[in-house]
């Protein structure tokens, strides 16, 4: 599990694109979510406030949790 603490928003987009979330990764970049922001995100931030569909949002949040608990 990589260390996301120094990631730029481009790094976040690249990481989630490689995982198969190209559309959602572009939205994360559009919202300027960088590594430090990503590591502070709560479930409601991803599922409720990002405008993502529920299925992909939950999967993305699960990846974020892994990065947070690395």
DSSP string, 50-66: S---HHHHHHHHHHHHH
3 pLDDT more than 90: yes
Residue 16 lies in a domain: yes
Reply yes or no on whether the pLDDT at 69 is more than 90. yes
Domain containing 38 — which CATH number? 1.10.150.50
Q: What is the pLDDT of residues 4-21, one digit of tens each?
A: 999 999 999 999 999 999
Residue 3 placed within a domain: no
Count of alpha carbons within 13 angstroms of residue 49, beta-carbon side: 8
Number of domains in the chain: 1
**Digit-coded pLDDT (tens) for 30-53:** 999 999 999 999 999 999 888 889
- Would you state the pLDDT for residue 52? 87
Residue 44 structural domain: 9-69
The whole-number pLDDT of residue 50 equals 85
Output the pLDDT for position 21: 97
* Cα–Cα nearest to 40, from 68, 8, 69: 68
Distances (CA, A) of 24 to 6, 18, 37, 70: 20, 12, 16, 22
Residue 1 lies in a domain: no
Q: Is residue 52 part of a domain?
A: yes
Residue 18 in any domain: the answer is: yes
| Assigned domain for 51 exists | yes
Contact 32, 1 (CB under 8 A): no
């Amino acid at each position: 599990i990589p260390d996301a603490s120094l990631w730029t928003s481009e790094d976040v987009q690249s990481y989630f694109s490689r995982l198969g979330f190209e559309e959602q990764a572009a939205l994360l970049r559009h919202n300027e979510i960088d590594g430090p922001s990503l590591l502070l995100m709560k479930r409601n931030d991803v599922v409720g406030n990002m405008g993502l569909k529920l299925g992909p949002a939950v999967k993305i949040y699960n990846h974020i949790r892994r990065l947070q608990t690395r």
